[in-house]
Structure 1
């Protein structure tokens, strides 16, 4: 299949609309997703050396993860600024963090931050940086807003075959809907799955002490029905519309049966579906001078 020309402005507008539409679903799914997400957040706080009193920027916070965890860690003398592209995600994150008193949630884009230089001790991003259109520009902006010696700690997905929690269902949909190959420069969940490239881009942006290590996020589901629920709840609405147009209904039984079957190989004898998904943990430090 031929790819289409990549339009950065259109891509960002589509991302914003999709995340707005999916925000309520991600809130509904939060507890189940955090089975695998929270251990990643905890590792990011360790890599970012987040301490009480620190000022921390959370990029791509979504519904407020890991902003809430960060707020509890930095305490009353610290401050968390949480950033997301989606207005609906921002509203949910604000509601979830309102009682904490030390979180500011803003709508914004890492590639064009309206924040002062040297404002943060650490920048944390959980599965957000890979959607940047220009990685080097995003990393340069990250370096700008960090203090000298500030830490960037981010998680990004490994290659799709190593991250079944998010990749198995989409592979089924791509095949059944005969989705066109996206332009090679278009960001995707796997845009930063090459550790060597990530290190090169971070060093080009001025970071030092760069490391990229693997970590398997311990996602699990009570059964294949729960995986189907995840994809129904958290998929972009455009995909559901495409199912309806091609097969006559968003509830097309063959499509959802195929998605359920895609995780059947991960079933344990007790019926639980274990989907450990490789995430790359990225750490980098701004120079002291």
Structure 2
């Protein structure tokens, strides 16, 4: 059972991690969103986001899908993005400059306002220390008949954009597999995902799949992306071992790992499986 102290510890760790990687993620937003934008679009479709709607984006990070939702709801709607990371929220606010009707708050479910037509979440729910409590809070944030539309990652082997680089570096450092718990793949089982959302009181729960067509210009770009978004703990271990996380041995390990995904033109293609869940409050 997850205790209050566990949840508090996980929250503090998550906040520190996302603060630390915020600049790296911003640097790769263009490349990442070229593919990830399709997930935002599908979440808006599943949620029924349209002009005049009130939308909450939980775990908004740099502002997606909140910014896409703001464009969809127009001046008669409202969008609130919530994230634990103050640095992520600051960057999301910068990216939202000039868009009316969208605001961002720092925090977790305790700052979530209620009365929304739609709750969106893109790849954030698996990081929660107490997912049951978070899902229940998101259901409470919806009006009766409101819709949750969330995306989570499938199994690591089917998500090379996220898992491949970290796996290669873990092997390079001879690290043990991570223990079960919050992380990007914590909700990767479709049946389990459906059951969790239903257990929170959502009705008509349905899970669908979407393969996200991530593409990078080559192995160097893949290495750059992986190292720029590297969590502080892994970055520190690489520095201890090699003196610099960008040491040639590190970059070689990443290039070798991604080589099977290179096309004839040198482009790296990393199709990654995403699960989409929809439920009605």
TM-score normalised over the length of structure 1:
0.92
Q: Which runs of 5+ in 2 are unaligned?
A: none
1:258 matches 2:265? no
Which piece of structure 1 moves more, 132-141 or 73-82?
132-141
Task: Report how many aligned residue pairs link the two structures.
Answer: 277
The corresponding residue for 2:275 is 280
Which piece of structure 1 moves more, 194-203 or 151-160?
194-203
Which piece of structure 1 moves more, 49-58 or 259-268?
259-268
Cα distance between partner residues in 1 of 2:252 and 2:42: 35
Cα distance between partner residues in 2 of 1:122 and 1:66: 12
The offset of 1:237, in angstroms, is 2.5
> 1:69-116: CA deviations, max 9, x gaps?
110100001000000110000101111113112111001113xx3344
Cα distance between partner residues in 1 of 2:197 and 2:151: 14
- Kept in 1, the 8 Å contact 2:206–2:279? The answer is yes
Give the one of 218, 228, 232 matched to 1:233. 228
Which piece of structure 1 moves more, 234-243 or 220-229?
234-243
SS of corresponding position for 1:172: helix
Cα distance between partner residues in 1 of 2:78 and 2:244: 47
1:99 matches 2:95? no
Cα distance between partner residues in 2 of 1:265 and 1:182: 25
The offset of 1:27, in angstroms, is 1.0
The offset of 1:7, in angstroms, is 3.4
Cα distance between partner residues in 2 of 1:116 and 1:261: 47
Q: Which runs of 5+ in 1 are unaligned?
A: 1-5
The corresponding residue for 2:136 is 140
TM-score normalised over the length of structure 2:
0.95
1:166 matches 2:162? yes
The corresponding residue for 1:109 is 108
Give the one of 235, 241, 248 matched to 1:246. 241
SS of corresponding position for 2:274: strand
The corresponding residue for 1:15 is 14
Cα distance between partner residues in 1 of 2:30 and 2:39: 14
Q: Which runs of structure 2 are paired with 1:68-79 in the superposition (5 Å)?
A: 68-79=67-78
Give the one of 156, 162, 173 matched to 1:177. 173
Cα distance between partner residues in 1 of 2:206 and 2:174: 37
The corresponding residue for 1:3 is none
Q: CA RMSD in A?
A: 1.3
> 1:180-200: CA deviations, max 9, x gaps?
34332x201001101111111
Cα distance between partner residues in 2 of 1:8 and 1:151: 26
The corresponding residue for 2:266 is 271
Cα distance between partner residues in 2 of 1:223 and 1:265: 12
The corresponding residue for 1:199 is 194
Cα distance between partner residues in 2 of 1:236 and 1:102: 33
SS of corresponding position for 1:17: helix
Cα distance between partner residues in 2 of 1:27 and 1:116: 27
SS of corresponding position for 1:61: coil
1:188 matches 2:187? no
